[in-house]
Structure formats: structure tokens, C-alpha cells
Amino acid sequence: MPPRIRKAVFPVAGLGTRFLPATKTVPKEMLPIIDRPLIQYAVDEAIEAGCDTLVFITNRYKHAVADYFDKAYELEQKLERSGKLEQLELIRNVLPPGVRAVFVTQAEALGLGHAVLCAKDVIGNEPFAVLLPDDVIWNRGPGALKQMADAAEATGASVIAVQDVPRSQTASYGIVATDGFAARQGRIRAIVEKPAPEVAPSNLAVVGRYVLNPGIFELLEKTTPGAGGEIQLTDAIATLLERETVNAYRFQGTRFDCGTHLGLIEATIRYALDHEKLSDAARQLMQNALNELGVEDLA
Ligand code: UTP
């Protein structure tokens, strides 16, 4: 049986320019949905999928990400002394026991492909996951990465998350062409980074979750800058699928692009409306806002 993924890579060395000025000092991955930063949603998804080694590709400005996963002794002591055990539990569970965090610096933001390549020595010769934390995937059942890891374990093939997007949006995504789908999976025949709608091979867009075989590293080493002058993961995957099977996986769940303003707003609304304690009040707040602005009822 092919091995189960144990290691997950989180490329968080991008500049996050779409969220300036906030991202001048706060890394994009630390922006919250309610009370948890985006990175925590991705980390929880990786742990649920069975990963116990989390590899963060950071840059020298992103101390906040490393600090967040570090132990906060003073805070823990204070919470313990004042009997705030619920809050204590929350900060202790940022990384559960048995899960380790490794930080690798990407000296220059040369692209997502280059960021993944920075993890090579930590990953070694085994399949691994890549999660882009600004893609938040909400699902009541198993997380997207768990669904994909199960599929990868069954076949041994690399698996890439995809979703259908309007054709007008293909230039914002990596787009795949596949053989027919059996259940949620179809073999990828071609992958192109950000094609214009007229030349896009389909409207199936790559979303920020990957399970990759380690052969990708050798290909990334040979990949030259592509779209936007960056070393693109998509270009290395295009070569990988000439050598081995790479499957597209239509995950169950709703993906929010929290790298954009509207995506972060949408995710916040979704998590608030689905929140155990906040949902009724959140619904009322939204209704009040619409009333005050003179907008008709939500229904
Ligand atoms: P994005 O394309 O969203 O870029 O990167 P960005 O810099 O984060 O954000 P904007 O576009 O300027 O607002 C996709 C993912 O790849 C990582 C980013 O951190 C993000 O998770 N990335 C990108 C790197 O780690 N290194 C790079 O060189 C480029």
C-alpha cells in the first residue's frame, strides 16, 4: 500500500500585497476569521489528514507565524493562575502534542514552486501535502486534505484539489484538463497557469491543496521562471504528469479565497453563521446592517 502523508508544507513567504496596509506588519496568514488566524485553519486540516510534521516556508519578516506556534510560557502561567482554563486549552492546542513545526526561510519570494522546493531536505523521499493557507475550505464532514490523502493513499498517485469556476475567471487560476471523472477523481492530461478564458482547456481550477510525490523536487529544480516571472509549481506539475499519474480531485466543501477582500468577508460570514455560540447574534447583526442601509430582507 502506498505510504500515508505525514508532512505538510505551508508556503507563507509571499508578500500579501492585496491586504496592504494591514500586511505591512501582520502577515496575511495571521489575519483572523473570528478568533483563529488563517494559518490555524490550514494547520488543523493537515493534522486531521494525519500529518505530524508541519513545514512553514517563511521569510525574515514573518516572525509572527513562528511566534504563534511557539510556546507562550508567561501567558500560559497567567491563564493557569487566574483559572482561565478554557483559554489555556485554546492556546495549548495551537499545536497538539506529537505534532512538530519546522521553519524554513525562503530568502527571496521567487514564486510558489520555489517556496515548495525550499522544503526538499525536510520532506526527503516520501509523499507530502502542500496547503496554501489563504484558501480556507469549509466542510461539515472530513476536511479537503483528508479526502485527498485518502485518495492518494489508495492509488499512490499525486492528487491536486480542483473546483469548477466561471470561465471568465480562468486567468486567476491554474487550470487543468482531465480524462473523465470517476466519482471525485479524474486523471490530469494538461495543466496551465492562468490561461485567458479563450484558450483555457476547461474551467476546472486548481485550489491550494496538493498531495505530491517527492519526484516533484527534481522537476522544481529544473523549472525556470514562468507566469509573472515566478518559479511556478504548476509548471513542475505539468512535467510530472508526463511521467506519472496526477489526479484532479473535486473535494467536498466550500473554498473561500481569503487572499482577497471579498473572500475573507465571505469566510467570516460563513463561519459566524455556522458558529455554535455566535450564529443567532451574527444573523441579527447582518439583518440590522441591511435594515440600516435600507437593503431589503436577506431572504
Ligand atoms: P499569492 O499569489 O497569493 O501571493 O501566493 P502573495 O504574495 O501571498 O499575495 P499577494 O498576491 O501579493 O496579495 C500564493 C501562496 O504562495 C506563497 C504565498 O505566501 C501564498 O501562500 N508564496 C508565494 C511563497 O511562499 N513564496 C513565494 O515566493 C510566492
Contact in structure between 225 and 231 (CB atoms under 8 Å): yes
Cell of 77: 502561567
pLDDT category of residue 15 using cuts at 50, 70 and 90: confident
Q: Ligand 1: which atom is nearest the Cα of residue 11? A: 25
Nearest CA to ligand 1 atom 10: 16
Q: Ligand 1: which atom is nearest the Cα of residue 134? A: 21
Q: Ligand 1: which atom is nearest the Cα of residue 19? A: 13
pLDDT score recorded for residue 235? 94
Cell of 294: 435600507
Q: Ligand 1: which atom is nearest the Cα of residue 28? A: 8
How far does the centroid of ligand 1 lie from the alpha carbon of residue 119, in Å?
16
Dump the DSSP string for the chain.
-PPPP-EEEEE--S--GGGTTGGGTS-GGG-EETTEEHHHHHHHHHHHTT--EEEEEE-TT-HHHHHHHS--HHHHHHHHHTT-HHHHHHHHTTS-TT-EEEEEE-SS---HHHHHHTTHHHH-SS-EEEE-TTEEEE-SSS-HHHHHHHHHHHH--EEEEEEE--GGGGGGSEEEEES--BTTEEEEEEEEES--TTT-S-SEEEEEEEEE-THHHHHHHHPPP-GGGS--HHHHHHHHHHHS-EEEEE-SSEEEETTSHHHHHHHHHHHHHT-TTTHHHHHHHHHHHHHHTTPPP--
How far does the centroid of ligand 1 lie from the alpha carbon of residue 16, in Å?
6
pLDDT category of residue 204 using cuts at 50, 70 and 90: very high
How far does the centroid of ligand 1 lie from the alpha carbon of residue 122, in Å?
21
pLDDT at 298 over 80: no
pLDDT score recorded for residue 143? 97
Nearest CA to ligand 1 atom 22: 14
How far does the centroid of ligand 1 lie from the alpha carbon of residue 114, in Å?
11
How far does the centroid of ligand 1 lie from the alpha carbon of residue 12, in Å?
7
Q: Which residue has the higher pLDDT, 236 or 2?
A: 236
pLDDT at 104 over 60: yes
Q: Ligand 1: which atom is nearest the Cα of residue 58? A: 25
Rounded to whole angstroms, how far apart are CA atoms 118 and 58?
10
How far does the centroid of ligand 1 lie from the alpha carbon of residue 160, in Å?
18
Mean pLDDT within 200-220: 96
Q: For residue range 21-79, what is the model confidence (pLDDT) as tens digits?
A: 999 999 999 999 999 999 999 999 999 999 999 999 998 888 899 999 988 888 889 98
How far does the centroid of ligand 1 lie from the alpha carbon of residue 115, in Å?
9
Rounded to whole angstroms, how far apart are CA atoms 58 and 202?
33
Q: For residue range 216-270, what is the model confidence (pLDDT) as tens digits?
A: 999 999 998 887 888 999 999 999 999 999 999 999 999 999 999 999 999 999 9
Q: For residue range 106-158, what is the model confidence (pLDDT) as tens digits?
A: 999 999 999 999 999 999 999 999 999 999 999 989 999 999 999 999 999 99
pLDDT category of residue 297 using cuts at 50, 70 and 90: low
pLDDT score recorded for residue 157? 95
How far does the centroid of ligand 1 lie from the alpha carbon of residue 185, in Å?
27
Mean pLDDT within 88-116: 91
Nearest CA to ligand 1 atom 8: 14
pTM: 0.94
- Delineate the domains of the chain, giving CATH numbers in brackets: 7-259 (3.90.550.10)
Nearest CA to ligand 1 atom 4: 14
Q: For residue range 150-180, what is the model confidence (pLDDT) as tens digits?
A: 999 999 999 999 999 999 999 999 999 999 8
Protein residues whose CB sits closer than 6 Å to any atom of ligand 1: 11-18, 28, 57, 106, 109-112, 114-115, 132-134, 259
pLDDT at 299 over 60: no
pLDDT score recorded for residue 16? 87
Q: For residue range 179-194, what is the model confidence (pLDDT) as tens digits?
A: 988 889 999 999 999 9
